[in-house]
Structure 1
């Protein structure tokens, strides 16, 4: 039997149940999910699915990540709600590809872990699966592992196995509507040009779960926990002199301006920190930045494209501001400008939750 797999939270429990209910069947997993966006999220879910299949002794095949073709397939259905017409087209595409893969492998039965997802309609999935049985001759096995306490058992398995628990189906359109309804920033779509790993980002999770797998290979004990914290995303920063000249500038993380703009001048300096006369803004030179961080940046541009990691920046912020709770802008420049300045800074702080890996000695 070929099993289309969407994620480890659904697949681990689902595959365990299939192994028990179909002991004579050789189960083969097929990870085909071109709807998942961004690609880093796809990589993270695949990483966790590989781990699950390996633990359960199930072969896994990775399908093509043909995201552009998926976008074309759902064109015009972007605003459809979850479980609506877009989902049905998405199922059609994934079932078609899964059915073709089953035929290629000589399998006569297919099913999907989507059946156990509380976000999906089992009736919708069964209808689409039956249509493919009629057209392709591959039987769709519509098992119901959600009823009879199945959802609670699935949650137990997810916790026991410390699986990656994503909080959206994977589709960018579903995510957009979900975040709009929650009035939350869609920070899954943020990836800075610097490549810096941001807190609670998909890239940070990918690092954590990759390290988790390495710890298991080494036989080390660990625990993945969650913690609440103040998160931060910066959208843009621009510094303009009184002569309308754009100056090279870099704003440290957690730099915020309530009205996104401030105008004024450098008022005084102390210990190589230069104080603006508006919004408590502070300036330091690139040379001071290098001295305080033991770095050797030669230009602001180099700093923008290859900054220190997030934790190192926070250490620098605490040094410059003498505070662990400082949110004022700290701007790095080549030289301290003596003219009137306009600072444009669009950034957001917000309450969030992130994973943390605890390693037991």
Structure 2
């Protein structure tokens, strides 16, 4: 049997139920989900599915990430609701490819772990399976493991085995609608200009589950705890002096009340003095003094690995704990007319924390 797999939370329970129900049927997993966006999220989910399948001793095939082909079929369906025509198309696309893969491998039965998802329509999925095998000698296996407490057992098992539990279905349209309803930024679609790992980012989650896998391989006991915090994203920022853009570094939690601020600085300005809208300028040498770093210039600071603890310590020393003053690091602070154009957002977020024992 070839099993289309969507995510580890759905597959981990589903695969074990299949083994109980069909003890003599060889099982092969097939991760084919080009709907998942962005690609980093796709990799994160695949890695955790692989981790689950390795635990269960089930072979896993990684399908092609054919995002452009999937996306081309969504035209006109962008605003469809959950369980609407876009989901129907998505099921047909993924399950249809699963049937083609089964034929290629010589497998005679297909199914999908999407049948386990409480947010998916069982009838839509069954119809997708039927359409996928129409005109072939391949059979489908559409069974409802959700009923009779199956969904609760599924989530308990996923929690016990510390699987990655994603917080959106997968596609860009569903993600956009969900974040809009939550009044949250689309942080999943943002990346740092210098590819640094930011708090609450997909990259951070990938790193976390790499550590989880390493703990399991080493026999290290661990827990995953959920932490709720105030997150921060800087959408854009540019600092100009006398109408010319200059290199700058904006510390995390710099909250700009306006998108444009104009400030005049004369030769009497001293570092760490609050200016208009609470702006604080410091130069790179002062930043190095506060942190013990040895950055030659701000460009080098921009390219360095992100260290939130260091930035919060700098912030506390300059403007107090939990402050939101815009703190801007420059190579040097000279007299002139400064313009700051920036936009940021502060929002409630959560992330998992690895605790080893």
Alpha-carbon distance in structure 2 between the residues aligned to 1:324 and 1:8 = 40
Q: Post-superposition shift, 1:310?
A: 2.8
Check whether the contact 1:116–1:146 (CA below 8 A) recurs between aligned residues. yes
1:333 paired to 2:330: yes
Aligned to 2:279: 281
Count of equivalent residues: 356
Q: Post-superposition shift, 1:278?
A: 0.9
Check whether the contact 2:197–2:306 (CA below 8 A) recurs between aligned residues. no
Q: Post-superposition shift, 1:31?
A: 0.6
Q: Post-superposition shift, 1:306?
A: 3.2
Q: Deviations over 1:92-128 (max 9, x none)?
A: 2211211111111111000000001112111001111
Superposed, which structure 2 residues align to 1:68-87 within 5 Å? 68-87=68-87
Alpha-carbon distance in structure 1 between the residues aligned to 2:222 and 2:272 = 45
Check whether the contact 2:272–2:281 (CA below 8 A) recurs between aligned residues. yes
Aligned to 1:53: 53
Aligned to 1:262: 261
Aligned to 2:62: 62
Aligned to 2:347: 350
Paired residue secondary structure (1:96): helix
CA RMSD of aligned residues (A): 1.6
Farther-moved stretch of structure 1 (98-107 vs 294-303): 294-303
Question: Which structure 1 residue ranges, 5 or more long, are not aligned?
Answer: none
Question: Which structure 2 residue ranges, 5 or more long, are not aligned?
Answer: none
Farther-moved stretch of structure 1 (285-294 vs 30-39): 285-294
Check whether the contact 2:162–2:224 (CA below 8 A) recurs between aligned residues. yes
Q: Post-superposition shift, 1:307?
A: 4.8
Alpha-carbon distance in structure 2 between the residues aligned to 1:290 and 1:277 = 22
Alpha-carbon distance in structure 1 between the residues aligned to 2:192 and 2:279 = 23
Q: Post-superposition shift, 1:269?
A: 5.2
Superposed, which structure 2 residues align to 1:102-117 within 5 Å? 102-117=102-117
Check whether the contact 1:229–1:353 (CA below 8 A) recurs between aligned residues. yes
| TM-score between both structures, scaled by the size of structure 2 | 0.95
Aligned to 1:165: 165
Cα gap change, 1:307 to 1:58, in 2 (>3 Å)? closer
Superposed, which structure 2 residues align to 1:125-274 within 5 Å? 125-241=125-241, 243-266=242-265, 273-274=271-272
Check whether the contact 1:266–1:274 (CA below 8 A) recurs between aligned residues. no
Q: Post-superposition shift, 1:223?
A: 0.4
Paired residue secondary structure (1:135): coil
Paired residue secondary structure (1:240): strand
Check whether the contact 1:285–1:335 (CA below 8 A) recurs between aligned residues. yes
Paired residue secondary structure (2:198): coil
Aligned to 2:10: 10
Q: Post-superposition shift, 1:257?
A: 1.3
Q: Post-superposition shift, 1:276?
A: 4.2
Check whether the contact 1:35–1:67 (CA below 8 A) recurs between aligned residues. yes
